[in-house]
Amino acid sequence: MAARLYRISFFVYWAAFAAITARAGQFPLAWHRPPELWQYPFAGVAVVCTLFALALLILYRILPAARFPWSWRRLVAALIYSALLLSIPSFSDQPPYHYVVDTFALTTFWAVLALSVVSIGVMRRANRAA
């Protein structure tokens, strides 16, 4: 049951950021095109959502649900991976949906940090009980 909830939470996390990206795609930058020539950037939004899915797939492979509480190596690898996501550069002249990537990376880093604290607490409690 917990493993299924863990998998569902990854999907909900992706869906939330996909929705934020789709919403941000509705607001073009004024200097790119006149408003009457603007079209919704379906391809750009799809690419960003696909990048989110790939990033979460890699994170899920690092921290699989069946191995909770995770080992120290997995926790460190997840923290390094989420820190690497933070290092993805963003450019100031991009459409607004590109800025969702920064929010995704920062939120993912804090979520992995919180999961690490929970996992460390569970590991310490299990070591005391043994």
Non-local (6+) Cβ contacts of 82 within 8 A are 59, 105, 108, 109, 111, 112, 113
Question: Could you give the CA distance from residue 41 to residue 89 in angstroms, rounded to a whole number?
Answer: 21
Q: Are 75 and 116 in contact (CB under 8 A)?
A: yes
Q: Tens place of pLDDT for every residue, the chain, 130 residues?
A: 677 888 899 999 999 999 999 998 887 765 566 667 778 888 888 998 999 999 999 999 998 877 766 788 888 999 999 999 988 776 656 677 778 888 999 999 999 999 888 888 877 787 777 6
pTM equals 0.83
- Indicate the domain borders of the chain: 2-129
